[in-house]
Amino acid sequence: MRIAIIGGGISGLSAAYYLEQERAKGAPVEYTLFESEGRLGGVMFSDQIGDCVVEGGPDSFLTEKPWANQLCAELGIADDLIGSNDSQRVTYILVKGRLVPMPDGLMFMVPTKLIPTALTRLFSWGTKFKMLGELLHPPRPVHKDETVAQMVERHFGSEVVDRLADPLLSGVYGGDAASLSVRAVLPKFVEMEENYGSLCRAMLAGRKKMAAIQKAKGYKPKPLFSSLKGGMQQMIDAIVARLTPAWIKLNTNIESLHQKDGGWELTTAAGVEQYDAVIFATPARVASLMLKSTDAQLSDDLGRVEYSSSITCTLGYKRDDLKMCQPGFGFLIPRSEGTRMLATTFVHTKFPFRAPDDKALVRCFLGGAGDQAVLKLTDEEVTAQVRKELKQITGITAEPWFVKVYRWDRAMAQYTPGHLERIERIGETLKRMQNLSIAGNFYKGIGVPDCIRTGKEAAEHMAALARAAKA
């Protein structure tokens, strides 16, 4: 069976890698990977600047999600995995121009420790009393999807939406709490509310249960985030080294796609090619356009997935230039503070491997759903803005020894209300249309591990189809 993979980001590359594995196990599959750009990896991209590793897109992945770790083990690069330096994991929130550490016991915006919550300057007394009252929240069946902001406001009030939910979600999704679906991005919160009513009580119960399991199993805590010594690019390079070079077509944009004789006809600038099956690993809008004449509902559902754009700007300093900065991983900035920056990571603290002891890397994140216009700024304007805001917030005034700006146009899928229903309908259509699969960050999770999972599942589906056709 000849399979076309459209898109060479981590999702498409994972599909190609797992098709290679299936071939090695005897599945009758061949593939061609089409990538419109001149390089593979999509938004996953690392630069070597002097003796520092600088990440353009993702800088790490969640350790607890297994697919990236598994892939690294299969690729033989597990020894190069590094964990985040969690002993120094303090994250600050900018409140009225001052950096306030997130209080101990805060579990993704849900407080679980009384004294740190009572003492923090992050919340007003009104919010603290509301948090105490939240313990009495009755269980509530959730019939309709709502936004994260709506749910968090019901439990803890609007200040927690502004100071925690929004900044945390802009860090992960480049989106805001008022437009992301709680069922899609925080399904555990929905479950907790249904079972316990109070999110605080549910978190405490979950933590107790988990501690008992971990104790019984002699579990050693793992770092929250993992990355690779050589940067995230190392994963891309290791995958590419295991693919068949003749089956990769760079600088080849797929222009259109049509069903023909039970298979698919793809059009590129070079002409028309026939395939038995297709795996889409592009942003949903690209798949939507190409599938318009094939299935109107599928195309419509794909076309409704919104994306946000972002910029990352990394500045290199001497370590001594940052003496005035408070120790920790960095800080998040609520929109209400009026800055253009949304978050800053002190990379040399989070991943000391990224820079030598005398150097510091400061990575700033701008854009997101609330500021798409940021892409219109020139690199010089981005740099000037970032340096101005860094000076205001942290007091850094030194001249950086390098600045690098990366732009990501409509790269982060937004899981808005109704997303899960759309994804379910897409899944139903794909069950009917067996020789079409979909992978990508809009499908089963935005992070790198979930993208790998979608590529792997698409490859396994196609291999099973090829085996069945041969039998």
**Angle at the Cα of 407 from the Cα atoms of 401 and 413, rounded to 5 degrees:** 140
Q: Is 342 an interacting residue with respect to ligand FAD (CB under 6 A)?
A: no
Q: Does 253 bind ligand FAD (CB under 6 A)?
A: yes
Among 325, 451, 462, 463, interactor with ligand FAD by CB under 6 A: 451
- Residue 226's beta-bridge partner residues? 61, 83
- Number of residues engaging ligand FAD in binding (CB under 6 A): 36
Q: Does 167 bind ligand FAD (CB under 6 A)?
A: no
Please identify, using beta-carbon distances, which residue of 8 and 231 lies nearer to ligand FAD.
Answer: 8
b/e 10-29 (16+ beta carbons within 10 angstroms → b):
bbbbbbbbbbbebbeeebeb
User: Is 330 among the residues that bind ligand FAD (CB under 6 A)?
Assistant: no
Part of the chain binding ligand FAD (CB under 6 A), chosen from 9-17, 77-85, 199-207, 460-468: 9-17
Residues 307-326 that bind ligand FAD (CB under 6 A): 310, 312
Q: Among the candidate windows 124-132, 138-146, 275-283, 424-432, which touches ligand FAD by CB under 6 A?
A: 275-283
x/- binding map, residues 381-420, to ligand FAD, per CB under 6 A? ---------------------------x--xx--------
- 59/389 with CB nearer ligand FAD: 59
Answer yes or no whether residue 267 interacts with ligand FAD by CB under 6 A.
no
Q: Which stretch binds ligand FAD (CB under 6 A): 2-10, 93-101, 208-216, 271-279?
A: 2-10
Nearer CB in complex with ligand FAD: 13/93 = 13
**For ligand FAD, what does the binding mask look like between residues 21 and 60, x meaning CB under 6 A?**
-------------xxxx----xxx------------xxxx
Per CB under 6 A, residues contacting ligand FAD are 6-12, 34-37, 42-44, 57-61, 253-254, 281-283, 286, 310, 312, 408, 411-412, 440-441, 446-448, 451
